A = this chain, B = another copy of it.
Amino acid sequence: MIKRKTVTKSLECKVRITAITDTMQVLSGKWKIHILGTLLQGGKMRFMDLLREIDGIAAKMLSKELQDLEMNQLVTRTVVDTKPITVEYEVTEYGKTMEPIIDEIANWGVFYRNRLHGKTE
């Protein structure tokens, strides 16, 4: 007799796991959520704006993460022909669909801090 216990491994379950893996891959690394969050709040921002705004990030990281986000069509990169050329980054409409995730994550973090300090809501 073969014992088959959990049959929960449904198609639905696998789809969910794939979906989560996909999202986390798009948001991989220490900085993407912060960059996206900052751009969602600030609208059009230049490279140096982001570098100053996001505490602790290095130019190399910002550059690389922006490239990743651009590749995934979450942000656009526009070179502006100013005195010294500037580059504007902006979240795409598609990128804005990430907002609910980022908001939930931020909300939970606040909730978490409150709980640590003994505050019940």
Name A residues whose Cβ lies closer than 8 Å to a Cβ of B. Answer: 5-6, 8-9, 13-24, 26, 30, 33-34, 37-38, 41-42, 45, 49, 52-55, 94, 97-98, 100-102, 104-113, 115
Contacts and interface: CB of A to CB of B under 8 A. Distances in A.
Contact of A19 (B45, B109, B115): B109
A98 B108 contact: yes
Given A6-B42, A49-B6, A18 B98 contact: no
9 contacts: A6-B45, A8-B42, A9-B52, A13-B41, A14-B55, A17-B55, A19-B108, A24-B30, A98-B108
A108 to B, nearest CB: 5
